Chain A
Amino acid sequence: DVKVTQSSRYLVKRTGEKVFLECVQDMDHENMFWYRQDPGLGLRLIYFSYDVKMKEKGDIPEGYSVSREKKERFSLILESASTNQTSMYLCASSYRGQGQYFGPGTRLTVT
């Protein structure tokens, strides 16, 4: 079974802090994704990566950056957390277009 793990299930940070969300997959998938999920808005793509050190902006990249130094690991960085970044963050990986496998999510609260 594909396993996608995220470093934290729940996280509370203060406004202005730098926040790192880590995601690791164990199936050698080339594609990895970061989404945020908010009630009524569904899933919105922040960034995705199709290879090591490669990244593409999604629909809502503002205020976020990403890093992919190794194939299995994709990090989402909030440079200066703000309260409007309070959300559920979901990481996913995929092999080509054959469906995505999601991690359990990180619920981030910024106070």
Chain B
Amino acid sequence: AQSVTQPDIHITVSEGASLELRCNYSYGATPYLFWYVQSPGQGLQLLLKYFSGDTLVQGIKGFEAEFKRSQSSFNLRKPSVHWSDAAEYFCAVGERNTGNQFYFGTGTSLTVIP
């Protein structure tokens, strides 16, 4: 069965520090991969996506993610975190064939310390 694991429920970093949020997935083939961000009381916003090709993808707000097939991982990174990055982050996989099945991790909550 397809599943997405975000092992870190909550992460705290200092402003200006680097960030890495982990995501592992279980899927029969290479899925579409996504990261979303959710600010309090808001919907989810698509940060970046991977379909194929270059395994390092750039997204909005200075985020990037790297697809590692051998590890079934798609970790999100940012070199220098800003206070406004405090939010909930969700990793998701999408099914390629029909394109209408998506599976989400349970999210990682990011706190940024001034």
Contact = CB atoms under 8 A, between A and B. Distances in A.
A90 B92 CA distance: 15
A50 interface: yes
Interface in B59-114: 90, 92, 94-96, 98-100, 102, 104-107
Nearest to A102: B43
Interface residues of A, number: 26
Contacts of A104: 42-43
Residue among B34, B43, B44, B98 with max Cβ neighbours from chain A (10 Å): B43
A34 interface: no
B46 interface: yes
Contacts of B42: 104-105
Interface residues of B, number: 24
A97 B32 contact: yes
A42 B90 contact: yes
A56 B95 CA distance: 15
A74 interface: no
B30 to A, nearest CB: 12
A48 B100 contact: yes
A42 to B, nearest CB: 4
Contacts of A25: none
A72 B103 CA distance: 23
Nearest to B103: A45
A95 B51 CA distance: 14
Nearest to A50: B100
